[in-house]
Structure formats: structure tokens, C-alpha cells
Amino acid sequence: MENYTARLEKIWDWMTQEGIALVMLEDAEGRRDKNIRWLTGHPGDALLFLSAERKAVLAAWDLNLAKICAGRSPVTIVSYNDFDRQPRKAIVAAAKKLGIPAGSKIEIPPITPYPVFLDYVGELIDFDVLCRERCAAAELMKLRAVKDDYEIAVYRRAAAITNELIDLIEKNVRNGKIKTEADAALMIEVEARRRGCEGTSFGILAAGPERSFAIHAFPGWTCAPFGGPGLSILDFGVKLDSYCTDVTLTFARDINPKQERLINLVEKAAKLALSMTDNGKPAKEIAAAVDAFFAKSKKQMPHGLGHGIGLDEHENPVIRNRSDNEWIIEPRMLFTIEPGLYDTLHGGCRLENDILMTESGAEVLTTARIIHL
């Protein structure tokens, strides 16, 4: 209850500053928004209405699940079915139930298509309807970048499980039990659930020597050989209490000098990034330093250096070398550092670990590594 109340208070404060009387968040098929999960504990298929008077109404499709998952949060739970599962009907009812005065500002999700926005305007004719980028959903994504005590505790458990799986995978590649991409992917799926996880954070990417040249192999995994001569990449994470880890290992066997050079550069880049990661550091500067390091060897990393992790596998802060990146590293942020290089002839190498910023500096929670076979 305390975690959810503290989170709601932050967004209510923002609503007061913005002069917004009612905010609607929507988590439905095709319009997923984990902010509802973060604020209430409910895993999905619901609308959440927040009033500036510090009241919250959760319109859930599955009432049984909502009562269990959101029962500890300070929200009133109602049935979404009472509104024919139509957001426009639900928001009109919520405005009435929460006593929103005529002429007030009501904000709907920023991903609402323009024709649907016009429908909301028609339904809420007595209100000022807002649909914009600088919105409650965006503010919540900023708030989620800094984790609370509960979230950090979950991550420590999730990282411990991830590390167990890393060791198990290495063992089974070495002893020959994992021979194919499918062997690796299916082992992770089973062993994660065996350890109490809800599953994996995202579709596992297991790419043997013939497919590791891609940043994200397509398809994610096949029955092709894994861990054979050359470079193999394994990118996975586990989901525990809805929170995602994200790591990448590279397996190297009988490699040639050019493949060895890729590995050395990636390992040095990871060490450089970690040495620069500190509180108050602009995230862009860390990524720019890694890009410059690769450029000295006439190499280019085709993706960002890292990203935040949370209820989604990709969240804020972003660790990338772009002019619009204004993120500053601060305590309680959780993010990845994942330098990588890829070659169509020699394959790819990526090294990704999960980092927790503490008051005293960066703590590496996971044990992903380059594994020489």
C-alpha cells in the first residue's frame, strides 16, 4: 500500500501543477501502458482514472484478478464491463463519479488517434480534452526511471536468478547439452519458470555463428547450431514480479584474429563505459566516449550503449549518443550497458549487464560475460 500511495502522490502532485482535473490511462490490447501496473499492481486490461482530488478508479476487465492484484493499492475498483468495455463511456462515468467540474481539463492517452480524440471531445463536450506528448504518461515514465526500495529488492532477486541461468547455460554449452539455438532458448524458458519467474522479459535472441552478425537475429532463435566455431550471441532476461532483467552473452570457439579483435574491443568498451558511469554524469557523454573509442579502431556500434529497465525491457534512462538525450545518471536508476560490434563475415559480439546506481556509484547486478569455449 505504501509503495502505491507514494507513486500516486507523485503523479497527483504533477496534475495539480499542470491544472489537470482528470487523467485517463489505458492498458488494453494494442495500447499497452505499464503505468497502470506501476500505480496499482494490476497487470493489465484496464483503465485507470486519476482525479486532482487524489482519488483513483480502476475499471478492470477481470474483477477477480483486480481485487487480488490491486487490492493493496488505494484505488476504487469497478467493472469495465459496466461500460461495454468502451473507454469513452467509461471516462464520462468516471468524470461524473469523481465530481469533475465542467470546464476542467481532462487528459486522455497520447497515443489516441486523432479521429478517436474527436470522439472523446464529442462525449466530453463540457470539458477541455487534452491529448499531447507532454502528458501524465510521459511524466510517469520519468518517475519510473528512479526505482524505490521495493523495486530494487525485486531486481536483486531477479538478477540472482539471471546469474544462475548464465552459469547453467555456460555449463550446458560446455558439456554439449546445449547444441542448438533452440536448446538454449527452451532451457531458459523452463529454468526461469522453475525458479518462480513469470517467464522471460522478451523473446529470447539465440544466434549461432551463422546468424550472430545481426543486432537482433531474425527469427529470434532457430534449430541452427549454437556455440560452435565462431561467435554466438545469447540475449535474454527474466521477468519476476513483472520486472525485467536484460543480459547478453557471447560465446567464442576456435575464433580467428578478426573475431578476437571484436571481442577485445567490446570488452574494453564495457570497462570504459562502467568507469565513466557515475551520479551526475550525462548519459550522452558515456555513450559518446564509447562511440569515440570504437571509431579509433574504425568500428561503429549500430545501436545505443544502453537503456533503462523496469516493467518494460526498454525504459528510461536512455544511454545513447544523440543530441536529444538529456538524461543525467542518478541514484536508484537501473539500466543496461551493452556495447556490441557486428560483422557480416565474422559474426557479432555483444556484452550486456544490468547496472544499479547507488549513492556510492555503479553496482553491476548481473554476471554476463564473453565465454571462451
Query: Can you give the residue ranges of every domain in the chain?
Result: 2-143, 149-372
Cα–Cα distance measured from residue 365 to residue 211, given in angstroms and rounded to the nearest whole number: 28
**Cα pseudo-dihedral 244, 72, 139, 200, rounded to 10:** 10
Tell me if 105 sits within 8 A of 128, measured CB to CB. Answer: yes
pLDDT per position in the chain (373 positions), as tens? 789 999 999 999 999 999 999 999 999 888 889 999 999 999 989 999 999 999 999 999 999 999 999 988 999 999 999 998 899 999 999 999 999 999 999 999 999 999 999 999 999 999 999 999 999 999 999 999 999 999 999 999 999 999 999 999 999 999 999 999 999 999 999 999 999 999 999 999 999 999 999 999 999 999 999 999 999 999 999 999 999 999 999 999 999 999 999 999 999 999 999 999 999 999 999 999 999 999 999 999 999 999 999 999 999 999 999 999 999 999 999 999 999 999 999 999 999 999 999 999 999 999 999 999 9
> Residue 46 is placed in which grid cell?
484496464
Predicted structure pTM score: 0.93
Q: Which residues of 284-313 are buried (b: 16+ CB within 10 A; e: fewer)?
A: bebbbbbbebbeeeebebeebbbbbbbbbb
Distances from the Cα of 91 to the Cαs of 18, 39, 55, 199, in angstroms? 20, 18, 14, 34
CATH fold of the domain at 2-143: Creatine Amidinohydrolase; Chain A, domain 1 (3.40.350)
What is 272-291 written as a DSSP string?
A: HHHHH--TT-BHHHHHHHHH
199-200 vs 205-207, strand pairing mode? unpaired
Rounded to an integer, what distance in angstroms lies between the CA atom of residue 289 and that of residue 269?
A: 9
Closest CA to 198 of 140, 132, 134, 242: 242
Cell numbers at residue 70, please?
490491486
- What architecture (CATH level 2) is domain 149-372? Alpha-Beta Complex (3.90)
Q: Looking at residue 179, what is its pLDDT?
A: 98
What is the residue type of 248?
Answer: T
